[in-house]
Structure 1
Amino acid sequence: MVIPGTDLPKEGIHASLAHEMGLWVSHHHAEPLGAEMFLRAYPGKQASYLTNPDLFEKLWRDAIEKQKDEKILWVLAFRGQGDAPFWTQDPQFDTNEKRGEMISKVIQRQYDMIHSQVENPICTIALYGEIAELYKEGHIYLPDDVIKMWADNGYGKMVSRRQGIENARVPSLPEPNEQGKNGIYYHVTFHDLQASSHLTMLAVHPETVESELKKIANANAMDYLLVNAGNIRPHLYYLDMLRIFWQEGEVRYREVLSCFVKRMFGSKHEEISDLYVRYFQNMIQYDQYEDTKAGEEFYHHPARMIIGHWLQSFGNETSESLTWATGDIPFPDQVDYFYNKSRSMLSNWQEWLEKYKEVETHLHEEDQVRLKDHLFFHANLHYTGSLGLKSLCESYKHFEQNHYPEAFVKATHSLWHYQESLQTLRDAEHDKWRHFYRADWLTNVENTLYNVDTLRRFIRMHGDNPDFFLWYKEYIMPETEKYIYLENTHREPLSDDKLTELLQEKFKLSYEG
């Protein structure tokens, strides 16, 4: 079974290709019944079922007609456009009672439409985000034979997901007396513009995942398993855990890890297993809960938010986009938070990398490549990301003290570290994996580089402008030369990188890593 992409153009081949391959096809909860997005089909119309029920139902009817003869797991849902709660575009639904009543009405209508066209259809609904909370509160009513999919929060924990700064953590498992069929929607990868794991393995410790899967089995939520893998290659270990859980009804992470390592590598199994365990112990703890471990997006989305707030000259005003992590505190204190978090595990990563190099030297070449692709890749994105975010925060601290050359140097250090992150992606794109990370638009390491490069150019304007020779003259040029040089031979502006190399020696700001 596969959900063949989300929000794809009508002429896309993904769904038809999946059918040709003999796969069962399901839908994303943002696209109920696999129908086209309302605003794409009807630009300019109000995306309100209350106002335009006929238009919504035409989209659903078209989707049913198109797929009724295929192997489909029909997803019933009603969210707003762009995978957001529908009441963000229809504010008259201002109470949970009104919201639940509308969702229940739409679900029943979709259910009836499918049953009028398809014999014995399999229908599911994702109890995800605000839907889970409304259902738990008793505001949503569902047909008895619809499979309810209970979702984790994107961090492996069976609680409702964080929405901005709201984090109710409502338990997301059926009650002991829950009627009907129940399954789960589990994230091996996630994207939330905050701290999720998309390119790297789920950051939560596998012992926590094992514990959550045991709760799922005990709650009898085993009628259906939908895994959001996002991708396959980077997430093999956790996908193995879920495969064995689905087949056997229970799982022990160390046994899975042992079998996984023996299947993947020809030797040094105990040492490689130890590297995996140590890897999960090195994740940044950004909040109080066991699942609040930072994936690689933690080094990128907050970094770009810090730069945006800084360059737009909001001063000490709190950055609302960072309060999910820091709380409502002044911006300099928010930067301090990310500085302290980014440096908290650096010594652990340095020890890990030394151990990795020791193990690597005893492996055959094929195993060296595989270990680099499937473990070093993840570790180095965390290590270089931590260094990049730390240097960025240091740059801000220097800038606030009007130490502009030092701020410039630390901004360049940040850029260099993020360049190492990008190189980690490129190094993993060898042989048949060429261009594999070309569409990194979610974590978007290249976007971070663009932001940091913009920042250091901005900082250089503070004191080295307009000729971009002043810092060289003030801090680097020999004293004897300052008074006798001829401008036609000494005025060539240095590149940002070259200027950084010279200034970091002057200010004793060594480059880590």
Structure 2
Amino acid sequence: MKIHANEQLVLKGQVYIQIPEIQFSSVEHALRILVRDFETVLGAKPKLVTRTDEEVDLCLRIAVEKDDIPKRSEAFGFRFHEIGKVPRMEIIGHDDLGLVYGILEFSKKLLGVQPFWFWADQAIAKHSEIVIPLQNYDSQIPKVLYRGWFVNDEVCLIGWKESYPPSREVWEPVFEALLRCGGNMVIPGTDLPRDGIHYKLAAEMGLWVTHHHAEPLGAEMFLRAFPGRNASYQEVPELFESLWAEAIEEQKDMKVLWVLSFRGQGDAPFWYNDPSFDTSEKRGAIISKVIQKQYDMIGSAVQNPVYCVALYGEIAELYKGGYVELPEDVIKIWADNGYGKMVSRRHNNQNLRVMSLPSADDSGKDGLYYHVTFHDLQASNHLTMYPGSSEFLKQEIEAAFAAGADDYLLINCGNIRPHVYFLDIIRELWNAGSIDVNKHLNEFVSGYYATHHEELEELYRSYTEAAIQYGPHADDLAGDEYYHHPARQIIGHWLQGMCGQPDARLYWAVGEVPFTQQVKNFEELLAQGIQKWRAWLQRCDEVLDKLGTEDMRRALDHLHFHGALHLSGCEGFYWLCRSYGEYQEQRYPQAFVYASESMWSYKKGLVILKDAEHGKWDRFYRADWLTNIESTIYNVDTVRRFLRMHGDSPDFFLWYKEFLMAETEKHIYLENTHRNPLSDDELAHLLKPYFLLKEEYHKDN
């Protein structure tokens, strides 16, 4: 029902919506979303009609020649007309994706549904009526032509529900959020079974699909298709080409951004499988040959194909060196280092930081592959928010656009939920080309929280200030993996009896110094991190105490969660380092207590994950296989058992007798009444006051 008053259209009750008679699957999905949003806001399910002679409130249609909306792909406009002095609003799309964007923009602007409503648990306000100003509106031209997400390292999405590969129930909210952000392309997951719904559903919802750089053309991995064969293109080119031909045939009728590439199995340089390619010239020549072959195969089977080449890892280095030749119309995709800086990524300890952007004289089309989350078994953020600042991200992306890399922007979005703030920043950048980070933050916070906006904004801003800076560069900031992968490496090095030599795997973080000093260097950084994260969390708690129930839950999940995971990991790693220090001094009972402190701190991380699994998020973090807090706990527990062998073995009663038993009892007890050894936890809890009091005494004296 509608009312016309004072140049406004007022919708209330059941709204009548005219829809096109001929439907695109993408528009059908958008209509389902719109119906749900109307019902949520107005409390009544709208009626969809196709007949033009019925009185309707809202008309959705594809543009015809006479329409004055922008005549470009994906464009849409809002228009208002009077039918017998009764106003009607039209959402007109230039094409199917334009109409989808128009529907979703209506939902955002007029129904108040934010792009990440699902992932941020937005409390969508209910209204008795919707007031619409009678003002025409045209969509902006996006800064980036192809813009989307790589749903990568998506273990939370995989483990969230029972079905594998993930079902529509998991993927629909992912693709809806991407479309609400104005995205138009996706790599839906990493190496998922080919019979999954992910590619089909992405295409169904109107998205272009593209490919992982390790899976050129979206083809089956060679060794999966031909187990036991040597993965050498030089030896069996026909087998590789058969896989590419199969992939082309499967996807030729879809909207595809074809990724041309030649990497080895398991996302590694191909010469690991074919070591005869031992020079840059040889490697560049075969990569150029393979890419040209893929290019020609696609061109002969697909009309107007769009091609990309991921300049990632070794291919970027070879291209920069002039060893790789590419067809002129291929979009070259430049990658950041995983930490948001547009330089080459760190490989173990090698960190050349070669600029990863097109040069001024570089011709052709260019784009970006950029991370707001990463998994590299070193210091990346996977479960937690990107630790850099919004200003840093702005500078990197805007500088890349200025260098001409604006044809394509693919964002590694991980598991979506932990990364909504920075994904929303990217939404603004790929649409507008620039961003006022303070204005954006104000709009982001006010869009998802009801009150105390300024204090919440301060928490989002200051989050980056609490992060540990482990290296000299602005992007050398520790994510959650920093507290786990290096810690487990230290434990392995220690328990294998290799303490007399440095652990080369840790040079990137603490330098090429003796192992004991490596551990000490971590300890000193972690001590600083504990102080900073505790201070940030204290401010966070003060703000949370002022919030209403819904805002508090949201702030717990999207602010406190991240700081608490950092603190628990920071404390766990710190006490592990302290334990090793006591072990080196042969103070084994104290080392045992500190290892126990480490394990208890890491266990807090599991509690934090579990607390965030409320309602629809039940079991969301159960597949924490990458940061893998449980694995760290298991490793530290192994350290505790190892330490108890040093002086409490074989009866596991000696430390109790030495430190806890009353002096009078020590000389008269009968062994047959004192032979039930305490568990590690029981003993550690009893010993803890003894050693902590002793430590405090030494500090004071």
TM-score, normalised with respect to structure 1: 0.97
- % same residue: 59
Larger mean CA deviation between 85-94 and 239-248 belongs to 85-94
User: Cα deviation per residue 1:235-260 (whole Å; 9 max; x = unaligned)?
Assistant: 01111111000111111222221111
TM-score, normalised with respect to structure 2: 0.72
Name the amino acid aligned to 2:288: S
Using CA pairs under 8 Å that are at least 6 residues apart, name the structure with larger relative contact order, 1 or 2: 2
* Residue equivalent to 1:410: 594
Please state if 1:166 is matched with 2:350.
yes
C-alpha contact (below 8 Å) 2:216/2:261 kept by paired residues: yes
Alpha-carbon shift at residue 261 of structure 1 (Å)? 0.9
Residue among 537, 551, 556 paired with 1:367 = 551
SS of the aligned residue for 2:186 comes to coil
Larger mean CA deviation between 418-427 and 85-94 belongs to 85-94
Residue among 362, 386, 392 paired with 1:208 = 392
SS of the aligned residue for 1:182 comes to strand
Alpha-carbon shift at residue 93 of structure 1 (Å)? 1.4
* RMSD across aligned positions (CA): 1.5
In structure 1, the gaps of 5 or more residues are none
Alpha-carbon shift at residue 474 of structure 1 (Å)? 1.1
Alpha-carbon shift at residue 12 of structure 1 (Å)? 3.1
Alpha-carbon shift at residue 57 of structure 1 (Å)? 0.8
**Larger-Rg structure:** 2
Greater share of strand: 2
User: Cα deviation per residue 1:106-127 (whole Å; 9 max; x = unaligned)?
Assistant: 1111111111111111111111
* Residue equivalent to 1:458: 642
C-alpha contact (below 8 Å) 1:504/1:510 kept by paired residues: no
Alpha-carbon shift at residue 198 of structure 1 (Å)? 0.8
* Residue equivalent to 1:32: 216
* Residue equivalent to 2:450: 266
* Residue equivalent to 1:114: 298
Please state if 1:275 is matched with 2:446.
no
Name the amino acid aligned to 1:69: D
Name the amino acid aligned to 2:557: D
* Residue equivalent to 2:271: 87
User: Cα deviation per residue 1:84-141 (whole Å; 9 max; x = unaligned)?
Assistant: 1112222221221211111111111111111111111111111112211111111111
* Residue equivalent to 1:308: 492
SS of the aligned residue for 1:345 comes to helix
- The separation in 1 between residues aligned to 2:217 and 2:245, in whole angstroms, is 9
Residue among 364, 389, 405 paired with 1:221 = 405
C-alpha contact (below 8 Å) 1:2/1:23 kept by paired residues: yes
Please state if 1:59 is matched with 2:224.
no
Please state if 1:149 is matched with 2:333.
yes
* Residue equivalent to 2:34: none
Larger mean CA deviation between 343-352 and 309-318 belongs to 343-352
* Residue equivalent to 1:181: 365
In structure 2, the gaps of 5 or more residues are 1-184, 697-701
In structure 2, relative to structure 1, the CA distance for the partners of 1:61 and 1:509 (3 Å cut) is farther
- The separation in 2 between residues aligned to 1:355 and 1:348, in whole angstroms, is 11
* Residue equivalent to 1:328: 512
In structure 2, relative to structure 1, the CA distance for the partners of 1:91 and 1:471 (3 Å cut) is same
C-alpha contact (below 8 Å) 2:387/2:463 kept by paired residues: no
Q: Which aligned pairs between 1:437-448 and structure 2 lie closer than 5 A?
A: 437-448=621-632
- The separation in 1 between residues aligned to 2:623 and 2:198, in whole angstroms, is 17
Residue among 404, 409, 424 paired with 1:240 = 424
* Residue equivalent to 2:476: 292
Alpha-carbon shift at residue 511 of structure 1 (Å)? 11
Larger mean CA deviation between 486-495 and 54-63 belongs to 486-495
- The separation in 2 between residues aligned to 1:292 and 1:509, in whole angstroms, is 37
Residue among 654, 662, 681 paired with 1:470 = 654
- The separation in 2 between residues aligned to 1:90 and 1:206, in whole angstroms, is 43
User: Cα deviation per residue 1:191-241 (whole Å; 9 max; x = unaligned)?
Assistant: 111000111111122221111112012112111111110111110111111
Alpha-carbon shift at residue 488 of structure 1 (Å)? 3.0
- The separation in 2 between residues aligned to 1:77 and 1:344, in whole angstroms, is 43
Alpha-carbon shift at residue 13 of structure 1 (Å)? 3.2
In structure 2, relative to structure 1, the CA distance for the partners of 1:429 and 1:169 (3 Å cut) is same
Name the amino acid aligned to 1:46: N
In structure 2, relative to structure 1, the CA distance for the partners of 1:294 and 1:458 (3 Å cut) is same
- The separation in 2 between residues aligned to 1:427 and 1:70, in whole angstroms, is 41
Alpha-carbon shift at residue 509 of structure 1 (Å)? 6.2
- The separation in 1 between residues aligned to 2:394 and 2:203, in whole angstroms, is 33
- The separation in 1 between residues aligned to 2:466 and 2:353, in whole angstroms, is 24
Alpha-carbon shift at residue 73 of structure 1 (Å)? 1.2
Name the amino acid aligned to 1:202: Y
Name the amino acid aligned to 2:572: G
SS of the aligned residue for 1:333 comes to helix
Q: Which aligned pairs between 1:358-507 and structure 2 lie closer than 5 A?
A: 358-507=542-691
* Residue equivalent to 1:22: 206
Larger mean CA deviation between 354-363 and 485-494 belongs to 485-494
- The separation in 2 between residues aligned to 1:183 and 1:64, in whole angstroms, is 23
- The separation in 1 between residues aligned to 2:262 and 2:358, in whole angstroms, is 21
- The separation in 2 between residues aligned to 1:39 and 1:395, in whole angstroms, is 44
* Residue equivalent to 2:539: 355
In structure 2, relative to structure 1, the CA distance for the partners of 1:354 and 1:273 (3 Å cut) is same
- The separation in 1 between residues aligned to 2:443 and 2:217, in whole angstroms, is 39
Alpha-carbon shift at residue 43 of structure 1 (Å)? 1.3
Larger mean CA deviation between 78-87 and 3-12 belongs to 3-12
Name the amino acid aligned to 2:318: L
- The separation in 2 between residues aligned to 1:138 and 1:296, in whole angstroms, is 37
C-alpha contact (below 8 Å) 2:519/2:577 kept by paired residues: yes
C-alpha contact (below 8 Å) 2:467/2:533 kept by paired residues: no
